[in-house]
A and B are shown apart, each in its own frame.
Chain A
């Protein structure tokens, strides 16, 4: 009888766990885009570039490595940012891009899309 009771308890626990929302598996890290500009010069320049990039829908985070003239753009999950839009955003901040590399491809010239 006691064994039946233990088995019953285990069965009920299993049933209860079925009703729970499964814990979402950790999704892979978002794929970021690396943008190398001609001369980032200083932190104010980096902020100028970041301000333009942030205005693009889907941008979650912009990081900058001023010493290496590089900006990194992290998209929101499940979203992609057109390379052309990023290129134009940096240009509109007054900077030339020497290299852009990310999920959309590798570019040394303004992308078509």
Chain B
């Protein structure tokens, strides 16, 4: 009889643990991560979205920008490992096309105004109050993945290499 009692207790413990495990957050995440996530992630898409190219051209003194980009950097990794920073490319840069190669026509109106790769890239940084990039991997902080479309609003400026660097104030993930 004591044997069955022991087994019943054991089963009860397993069932309780299963129930508790399903309902609570057992990730042991740093509370600061949740605070920054809540501050940065937007539930609604902000208005006035521009392409990266347009945002660069229209960059004003206050640097306010709202850009749409795809988390991608060609053959390179878009992530700054361990930091809340990543690269975004123009959303249409990676277009799924069928049935046609590059343009062969020198008179093509739209191929004439091609932009450089730098013009179609932006560096997105999630910073703290002191302007330092948060030491949390962007994937952990925001739950973002490569090739996702994101709308980033914040303050942009060009660095010494001519890259558009955006200090993000809000990020909306299109999914």
Cα of A35 to Cα of B137 in the assembled complex, Å? 39
Give every chain B residue within 8 A of A59 (Cβ-Cβ).
Answer: 174
Cα of A43 to Cα of B94 in the assembled complex, Å? 11
Q: Does B117 contact A (CB under 8 A)?
A: no
Whole-angstrom distance between the Cβ of B25 and the nearest chain A Cβ: 13
Taking each of B7, B15, B51, B108, which has the highest tally of chain A beta carbons within 10 Å of its own beta carbon?
Answer: B15
Question: Which one, A5, A19, A76, A77, contacts B23 given CB within 8 A?
Answer: A19
A48 close to B95 (CB less than 8 A)? no
Q: Does A86 contact B (CB under 8 A)?
A: no
Question: Which one, B23, B68, B101, contacts A43 given CB within 8 A?
Answer: B101
Q: Does B49 contact A (CB under 8 A)?
A: yes
* Chain B count of residues within 8 A CB distance of the other chain: 40
The A/B interface has a contact count, at CB < 8 Å, of 109
Near B by CB (< 8 A), chain A positions 32-63 give: 41-48, 50-51, 54-55, 57-63
A43 close to B95 (CB less than 8 A)? yes
B105 close to A42 (CB less than 8 A)? yes
B149 close to A43 (CB less than 8 A)? no
Cα of A45 to Cα of B108 in the assembled complex, Å? 9
Cα of A76 to Cα of B90 in the assembled complex, Å? 18
Give every chain A residue within 8 A of B51 (Cβ-Cβ).
Answer: 51, 54-55
B95 close to A42 (CB less than 8 A)? no
A41 close to B18 (CB less than 8 A)? no
B149 close to A54 (CB less than 8 A)? yes
Contacts A48-B110, A63-B98, A65-B99 known; 16 new A-B pairs at CB < 8 A: A5-B4, A19-B18, A41-B105, A42-B102, A42-B104, A44-B108, A46-B97, A47-B93, A50-B91, A51-B90, A55-B50, A55-B51, A57-B49, A65-B97, A67-B99, A76-B174
User: Chain A interface (Cβ within 8 Å of chain B)?
Assistant: 1, 5, 8-9, 12-13, 15-16, 19-21, 41-48, 50-51, 54-55, 57-68, 76-77, 94
